[in-house]
Structure 1
Amino acid sequence: VDMAGNGNAYVVSPDTEADILIRSANLNHALDGDTVKVSLYARRGGKKLEGEIIEIVKRKRMDFVGTVEIGKTYGFLVPSSRKMLVDIYIPKEKLAGVKHGQKAVGRILDWPKNASSPFGEIIEVLGDAGDHNTEIHAVLAEFGLPYKFPQDVEEEANALNQSIDEKEIANSRRDFRGVPTFTIDPADAKDFDDALSLQKLKNGHWEVGVHIADVSHYVHPNSILDEEAVERATSVYLVDRVVPMLPEVLSNGVCSLRPNEDKYTFSAVFEMDEEGTVHDRWFGRTAIHSDRRFAYEEAQQIIENNHPEGNKAGFYDAIRTLDGMAKKLRTARMSKGALSFDKKEVKFMLDEENQPTGVYFKVSRDANHLIEEFMLLANRSVAEFIGKAKSGQPSGQTFVYRIHDDPDPTKLQDLSTFVRQFGHDVRLNSKTAITRSLNKMLDEVKNTPEANMIETLTIRTMSKAKYTTQNIGHYGLAFDYYTHFTSPIRRYPDVMVHRLLQHYLDGGKSPNYDTYEALCEHSSEREKAAADAERASIKYMQAVFLEKHVGESFMGVITGVTEWGVYVELVDNYCEGMIRIRDFRDDYYVFDSKNFCIEGESSGRIYQLGDPMKITVKNVDLERKQIDFEPCYGD
């Protein structure tokens, strides 16, 4: 069930070509996301496919976040989600001490046949609406994400043996502690998943070590820690905080590859030449000692040859050598048809109270690409090592892949038609032509007002990458075999990959893939929830930021046109808001669904996707994370 804002819904079914329209009177208590059985009505000439819901097979969720309104003997939870259109009735004895106007999580317990609202209880009081922490916790609760660890999980993490055992290194690990090793991460990072080492070999080649935190040494299958990590499946990166997959004693402590500390790692080690060609590879458990941590900015200065300390920075030559190899690896990938998305990310500058004081753009540069290329090399090599038999055919061994399907041809056609108005030509006659012309377009739009919109539309044209045991390759990276091996501190699939890799290195038989497939599916779902929560936290922060600018005018680009309004994204800060059709005061505008534009009845003036537009911030509703603009008719 996919709820629309007007109370009607659509049911998406594999058995029908079109979605089935369900009018609000025929929903029979179904809610957004529920799995249902539908009885179809006879279709009348050319009309939409319609039906009614006759059974709710499975509820998507029973818990909802909202604001509580309290009467004399009962209360209501008014859900925050725009897709949840009914309030939940809460009898007085089930209000759990929540105060009028506070935010809380309510659970539906029952929905009597003739009741207009479901009956429920308050299961968690989040706090006062509008309070920063309350709003962030509400975002997490909305997507079913936790924000604290149960006590038994913390206790198990704190009880772990954190010492480094010399006997273990001597017997079952390759010792890299004497090899020059460093990390490159964002300046504010605390969880260092990966480190690089570099040393020259006697034959003139280079040995490049990609060293990854050995999380599976500490987190054992079926332990309390493991069960919690499975459930979370990913760390969640919100606008002002990280909600880690593993307790901090692990994620920022024992597993984090901090400088000047001995650490256990799981490594992919490559023998390479300066052309980026891999001559040999080795996988296994190791021990490292990171000599230095670099922020991306610092590494970038070294690459550009303008580091303030010059070669005294140490690792100066190593970083430049690795950068040269990374550029070769990247060129080879691009020539095989990989896509190059270098989308600018918006970050908020926050004060001590976590209030936004401004925005800045995060751009990927050579230092980011250096790390990215070696992580891609490690991920691809591990997937090939297990997934590809010596004959070059698939090995058939159970493994966790990261796959990315080809884009939908219809969506590509729509994108091609749309970008033509900006002078871009997306060719659809072959796989290589598609990626070449997409890369050319993505390069050409950089630094134009419509850049973010075109990049976003291009990403939406693509399939969604996901985890599975059934390999079909990775379209965007142009790899036949790909997995996630390099971030086990923050992604559970990487932990599974470490365990499977060690199992196969020990000569183990291929395990049953059903268990792994179920975990893959769960991990993909959690990844989506985390991304949705991240977006919601950004939306909230945009609203807080623009609340201070109500009445001010900005330049924007139209990013969406619907029958009820026009969405505009501001060029300076990527904040998006909506102009309701009724707020266009110079004419009466009508929506043209074929061409995704609105047209003025008397003036013939057209507003369409991609048009630049000056707006004034009209209103901000923090509770609903809604930003309203109006056209700026002044100069």
Structure 2
Amino acid sequence: MSEFRPSFEQQIYKFMNDPAYRPMRTSELARELGIDTSRRRAFRTALKSLETEEKIVRIRHNRWAVARAQKTVRGRLSVSPDGNGMIRVEGETRDRALYVAAENLQCGLHRDLVEAEVLPSGAGRRSGEGRVVRVLERWFTQVVGLVRHTPYYAYVVPDNPRLHQTVQLDTDPRGEPPPEDHKVVVELDEWTDPLRPLTGRCLEDIGHRDAPGVAMQCIIRSHGYRQEFPAEVEEEQQRLMASPPPVEHEHRRDRTEEVAFTIDPDTARDFDDAISIREHPEGGWLLGVHIADVSHYVRPGSAMDVEAAKRGNSVYLVDRVIMMLPEKVTAELCSLKPDRVRAAHTMECRITDEGEILSSDTFPASIRSRARLTYRQVQAYFDEGTAAGIPAEVQKGLSRLHTLTMRWRRDRLRHGSIDLALPEVECRLDTEGRIKGVETREGSEAQHLVEECMLLANRVVARRLHEAPCPALYRVHGDPEPDQWSQMAAELESLGITDPPSNQSEINAMLRRLPDGWLRYAAMLCVLRNFQRAYYTTEPGGHFGLGFECYSHFTSPIRRYPDLLIHRLLSALEQNAPPPCTAEQLANLADHCSQTEREAEEAEKESVEQKRVEYYADQLRKGHTGPYRAHIVRFLKKGLIVELEESLQRGLVAFSGITDDFYRLNEERTRAVGRRGKKRMHIGEAIDVLLVKVDTARRWLDFQFADERRTGSRGGKGRQGSRGGTRGRPAGKKGSRGNKKGRPSKSRKKR
């Protein structure tokens, strides 16, 4: 075979360099060059060799072309649930992105670090479009998914809707593949040829998709989390608990006489912030924000520190917390429990009666909390004067803080901070983790009090670090791009808001004009959808959402690694010591923690979605189908997405189940109009729906109109979730990337 390779390569390369050559598939090339079937394997080997030498490249529709001196970029690939991708380009402005159509992903998967060529615009392509040419670093080495069987092989459909490639399971020499409908963890094999299927090896059978606890375990596994800590971390925790470093030290100021107190949720187990306030001898008030000094116990480079940096943050799932640091350290050593002397890092500022900040300082301190209060308890004190469980010495400070923080909040919103306090979904679970109810809750004045104190502390710390000649870590939230403002305007117009905002103050003015209710909530969602993501960086920048010029995260070192870094940087500055890390190390940690934060947000959202869907599955089993009050939030080709008022749960009403007319969407997909009767449906419209189907595996609900005049015999045809009913089927056209949703190719069945 080897004797043919050089001549094949020369023959192929010469043929493809002919000016008349047009890109061809492998079979077309072989036919043009007169390669018979007996020599096809050597021919394919020669093609692969030329590709490895970067002399030829595979382009759209699996055709071969000569590699030109095309501009290439590196970046992290993000694939959307619809199959298309975006590459955040490295080495340029953070906001620059390259669009990648699904057929140009090649072997790129969601979150891979890739090299891509920039494609010329025109020929039906948008400006700023690219094609993946090489995967530099695979992000997902393991995936979690559902096992499916064909007569020839078993494969796995990934749970992650951004992973469109199914995984064909390697033949297990020890026996049968995992059973159908089981959830498994799969280790991916190397994948470099988009014409061949992605394969993998089953590492763990989590259990049947409907077995108790399997769904939450899948979320944990799919994000790579583990609740247990490595043995070296547990050993370090034991040593630390047996012999903790003393709190009292000459560099630590004694603030144990201050009347400090904590305010947290009822279920909180660790308390990382306390507040104190008293009259200042020269007039006004002295406010103290005391943050648990985790850096006193977790030293740089220790096993605990390395693991905390890797995790980046704690993850708050519905039924459990995956901690950044071991629980004994956070809940015992660091936690600001009542009547215990604890190490803290304090931000102290002097305030006038009107709330003006006269001066501020930061320093390590020792404190002793007087009370552990809850938001519910403090809100009852504000609303009804109920002081049950609140010491008398704390009540005076609470009342003064209430007045000051409400004034700060009003001023902050008036000067550009955007009020986007969306309702939160709360899932009520029984002792075994089963869902018993779903409700939404709004922020309270007690929560606003704590929030304003923490915002102030974060700003003071950011300003102090910014003014010092040392590296620092900032929290930056960029202004929306022009196209985001345009998209925001279009979405708001679909809600009937015809005077869209173009800056911070106009956003707040618009929201103030809207009455409380669904319309205001929907407008907030439109605004949020068109914001950029906040991130960590070593370069100071503004925070658009808060309206601050300089901002950092300092107040939650128990659950956020960036806050722990800030504590170390601040301590070094206060003690005139060298910084604990270099600017380059800090920049790398900033990027890493921005990524782990996004990952945690996704996992937390998935856990809420899972429990909420389980709740409605239980309701359906009991025959509780509604009607439910809902609002139309989006239109798709197959139907309308609605959101229930009671729980913010979303689902699909399929057009095929609406029989009073045939509906067409307008170009912007903001309304649907009936062809015969010209009936209109628009985003924001309130409707009553009945629950007809729940798919707990895909976390999706199907509804139909409660009005019987609008539904009929075709209703069953539309009962598919909006993510597509064909994902994961084994049938499909030849070529694994080209198949819809990445189904395995027919050609593989022959093997």
TM-score (norm 2): 0.77
The worse-fitting range, judged by mean Cα deviation, of 600-609 and 469-478 is 600-609
- Counterpart-to-counterpart distance in 2, 1:421 and 1:67: 38
Shift of 1:599: 2.6
In the alignment, residue 30 of structure 1 is paired with which amino acid?
G
Match of 2:577 among 508, 531, 536: 508
* In 2: Cα distance, 1:532 partner to 1:371 partner: 25
How far apart, CA to CA, are the structure 1 residues paired with 2:213 and 2:137? 32
CA distance in 1, matches of 2:276, 2:476: 28
2: CA distance, partners of 1:530 / 1:445: 32
User: Which residue is 1:411 aligned to?
Assistant: 484
Counterpart amino acid of 2:301?
A: N
In 2: Cα distance, 1:252 partner to 1:354 partner: 22
**412 and 471 in structure 1: CA distance in 2 versus 1, 3 angstrom threshold:** same
Pick closer, same or farther for the CA change 1:311–1:63 going to 2, 3 Å.
closer
Structure 1 residues 213 and 18: alpha-carbon distance in aligned structure 2, compared to 1, 3 A threshold: closer
Asked whether the equivalents of residues 181 and 292 of structure 1 are also in contact (C-alpha less than 8 Å), the reply is: yes
Mapped partners of 1:244, 1:332: distance in 2: 36
Amino acid at match of 1:81: N
Q: In structure 2, which of residues 458, 462, 465 is the aligned counterpart of residue 383 of structure 1?
A: 462
Deviations along 1:310-362, one digit per CA (max 9) or x if unpaired, are 98654111100111121232233223211112211110111222222222222
Change (3 A) 1:95 1:440: farther
Q: What is the identity, as a one-letter code, of the residue corresponding to 1:141?
A: R
Q: Which amino acid aligns with 2:110?
A: D
Structure 1 residue 51, shift from structure 2 partner: 7.4
Amino acid at match of 2:569: L
Give distance in 1, aligned partners of 2:413 and 2:527. 17
Matches within 5 A, 1:193-208: 193-208=272-287
Shift of 1:489: 0.3
SS at structure 2 position matched to 1:587? coil
Q: Is structure 2 residue 193 aligned with structure 1 residue 120? A: no
Counterpart Cα distance in 2 of 1:74 and 1:491: 44
Once the two structures are TM-superposed, the CA of residue 35 in structure 1 deviates from its matched residue by 4.3
Q: Secondary structure at the match of 2:218?
A: helix
Q: Which ranges of structure 1 fall in alignment gaps of 5 or more residues?
A: 389-394
Aligned to 1:497: 566
Distance 2:512 2:173 in 1: 61
Q: 1:18-97 alignment to 2 at 5 Å? A: 19-23=99-103, 27-37=105-115, 46=124, 53-69=132-148, 75-85=154-164, 86-93=166-173
In structure 1, how many angstroms separate the alpha carbons of the residues matched to 2:88 and 2:299? 40
Q: CA deviation digits over 1:61-106, x for unaligned, max 9?
A: 2211012346899643332222333233232148899555332211
Structure 1 residue 172 displacement after superposition = 2.5
Matches within 5 A, 1:455-494: 455-494=524-563
Structure 1 residue 454 and structure 2 residue 523: aligned? yes
Letter in 2 for 1:135: A
**Residue 273 of structure 1: how far off its partner (Å):** 2.2
Q: Which residue of 2 aligns with 1:223?
A: 302
Distance 2:243 2:113 in 1: 50
Distance in 2, Cα, partners of 1:135 & 1:486: 33
Contact 1:562 1:596 in 2 (8 A): no
Q: 1:541 deviation in Å?
A: 1.4
The alignment partner of 1:216 has SS state of: helix
Distance verdict in 2 for CA 1:545–1:17, change over 3 Å: closer
Distance across 1 between alignment mates of 2:226 and 2:609 = 20
Instruction: Determine which structure has more spread, i.e. the larger CA radius of gyration.
Output: 2
- Structure-1 separation of matches of 2:177 and 2:229: 24
Question: How many residue pairs end up in the alignment?
Answer: 621
What letter matches 1:224 in structure 2?
A: A
Match of 2:593 in 1: 523
Contact 1:74–1:92 (CA under 8 A) maintained in structure 2:
no
**Matched residues in 2 for 1:414 and 1:51: separation?**
23
The SS at the match of 1:624 is coil
| Aligned 8 A contact 1:244 1:251 in 2 | no
Report the Cα offset of residue 619 of structure 1: 0.7
Q: Give 1:399 deviation, angstroms.
A: 0.2
Cα distance change, pair 633–331 in 1 and its aligned pair in 2 (3 A): closer
Q: Partner of 1:68: helix, strand, or coil? A: strand
The 8 Å contact of residues 95 and 121 in structure 1, kept in 2 or not, is answered as: no
Change (3 A) 1:294 1:444: farther
Partner of 2:508: 439
Pair 1:543 & 2:613 matched: yes
Structure 2 letter corresponding to 1:159 = R
**CA RMSD of superposed structures (Å):** 2.9
CA distance in 1, matches of 2:117, 2:660: 46
Deviates more, 1:292-301 or 1:546-555: 546-555
Q: 1:292 Cα deviation (Å)?
A: 0.7
The worse-fitting range, judged by mean Cα deviation, of 29-38 and 615-624 is 29-38
Amino acid at match of 1:569: E
C-alpha distance in structure 1 between counterparts of 2:344 and 2:471, whole Å: 23
Cα 1:83–1:477 change in 2 (3 A) is closer
Question: By how many angstroms is 1:610 displaced?
Answer: 1.5
Give the SS at the match of 2:637.
coil
Paired position in structure 2 for 1:600: 674
Change (3 A) 1:132 1:473: farther
Q: Is the 8 A contact 2:349 2:359 kept in 1?
A: yes
Kept after mapping to 2: 8 A contact 1:38/1:51: yes
The structure 1 residue matched to 2:218, chosen from 131, 138, 150, is 138
* Residues 73 and 91 in structure 1, CA contact (< 8 A), matched pair in contact too: no
Amino acid at match of 1:406: D
Q: Is residue 652 of structure 2 the alignment partner of residue 578 of structure 1?
A: yes
Measure how far apart 1:548 and its partner are: 2.6
In structure 2, C-alpha distance between the alignment counterparts of 1:455 and 1:559, rounded to whole Å: 13
Matched-pair contact (CA < 8 Å) for 2:241–2:329: no
Deviation of 1:38 (Å): 5.2
- Structure 2 residues not aligned, in runs of 5+: 1-76, 710-751
Taking a change above 3 Å as real, the CA distance of residues 87 and 311 of structure 1, as seen in their structure-2 partners, is closer
Q: For residues 295 and 119 of structure 2, what CA distance do their matches in structure 1 show?
A: 54
Partner of 1:268: 347
Distance 1:556 1:90 in 2: 46
Q: 1:214 to 1:100 in 2, by over 3 A?
A: same
1:152 and 2:227 equivalent? no
Relative distance call for 1:617 and 1:57 in structure 2 (3 A) is same
Q: 1:336 to 1:41 in 2, by over 3 A?
A: closer
